[in-house]
A and B are shown apart, each in its own frame.
Chain A
């Protein structure tokens, strides 16, 4: 039997749901089923985004205690292996309940649902930080200074520390043309990330990387 949503892949997930007393059934492929699930969970996460403390399972606390899941979500019964991570047997409902994933593989397994979540609680779902085993190539030369990269949240009430500002200016003057080019690309990349244009951000990231690698070979 084909998936009722995409009519392409083989349906292996049986979804029964009850919305305001009306029951419906669907047979979907794992991909469409995951998308279906994230469609219903994403909105809930949004309203619960408060202040997560490091290590606090706030998602779980809030969803669990408020019991909102059962109120706002259609009752969904998913009779399929796809509903659980094959490595740790954790379900997306378990993630909702506890605020925690079961194992690293959960990220791959619940990818589409998590992407929706990250759009709400993070700055998109594309990692732009350092990779394992590699030093963040920038920070050996770059001083952590005060330039807010977030466009929609400028804190303009007060000027930053005067000494710091002059230090920034000094550093800008000392940059070589290549470094200035990298700096300007970096700013463009930040802007692209801020407007969630990840394609542009990725292109700029590669461009920066190329320039940097060229720079290292020169030395």
Chain B
């Protein structure tokens, strides 16, 4: 089963944890300075180094050459967070030469080749589990470090294209659902506080200031001068406190707005079950409210797996890919509404 449909620790606040490691091959310039021939050569070398690890690799991973995929297929990969926008396009929005991604069967691990750094290893786990994510990413890092000359310096650590990643080359993050703290307008304060401590809070979807669906990405800024473990421990301790704050805020919200909130959340489920046309942003907001209702214990038929199924299904690329054709925004909104109705119907009636 795909990792993102399963649940993990502290699932009511933390949807998922992710660790990314950036690595570069010493004998080549950074990605932006490679000519097409070097890019192809290096991309092949990195792929081979991963596959050379053991004979079972082809059974455990699949390897996608992004230059061979359709735009819709690439968009779907971005929506599932298996690749970044950056991997797809060069700064001039042209599809990059020789970009590829190696993805594990459960899609928890993806290795981007040809991002801003030659290699970006990413591991994701459900709920709050930074340690497992780190271990998975480190295993892959070891594979490439054993087989390729990795750019590393005794002083600066792992050398990356951007100085904000130098050192550990590690970016650890969690995706947090914070409807309570959002409701009490605490996010800006939290953001300022964490910024001073070297951590970033950003909307997981949408632009920096406006977070759609109360979903936030919280990650480390510092990569040099602290060990991987220190960074993970600090992030973990901050997240533990945010979880407590968020749970308190939700409790307060429920006590204060009692029936009104209950009414809003039940109506919201009604809309999701009946809608015929729904934009991506509206879907996110409504799924966020549905998650809050489940968190507050309103719909016992539904659980966080439902939320994960819904979140995985509503992306425009994902919808078009499952329809097997290119759709207009209107057509997408229509298909999205149907997809949501179907998932909820199956979940509520337990007809898998």
Contact = CB atoms under 8 A, between A and B. Distances in A.
B134 A139 contact: yes
A128 interface: yes
B226 A149 contact: yes
Given A126-B225, A130-B168, A160-B240, A59 B230 contact: no
B233 A145 contact: yes
Interface in A50-67: 51-59
A22 interface: no
Contact of B241 (A54, A107, A149, A157): A157
B317 interface: no
B271 interface: no
Given A107-B156, A127-B153, A130-B168, A101 B161 contact: yes
Contact of A127 (B156, B195, B245): B156
B30 A127 contact: no
A203 to B, nearest CB: 16
Given A100-B32, A136-B227, A122 B241 contact: no
B163 A59 contact: yes
Contacts of B243: 161
Given A126-B225, A153-B196, A101 B163 contact: yes
Contacts of B272: none
Nearest to B115: A55
Contacts of B236: 144-146
Contacts of A149: 226, 230, 233-234
B303 interface: no
B162 A127 contact: no
Contacts of B173: 54
Contacts of B155: 111, 125-127
Interface residues of B, number: 72
A139 B233 CA distance: 11
B335 interface: no
Nearest to B220: A54
> Chain A binding site: helix, strand, loop or mixed by DSSP?
loop
A99 interface: yes
Nearest to B164: A52
Interface in B229-271: 229-230, 232-234, 236-238, 240-241, 243-245
Interface of B: 20, 24, 26, 28-30, 32-33, 84, 86, 115-116, 120, 130-131, 134-135, 138, 142, 145-146, 150-159, 161-168, 170-171, 173, 193, 195-198, 200, 202, 208, 219, 221-230, 232-234, 236-238, 240-241, 243-245
Given A51-B221, A98-B32, 13 more contacts: A56-B162, A87-B29, A101-B161, A101-B163, A102-B29, A103-B33, A118-B225, A122-B163, A128-B225, A144-B236, A148-B238, A158-B245, A161-B243
Shortest 3 CB-CB distances between A and B: which pairs?
A127-B157, A123-B225, A146-B237
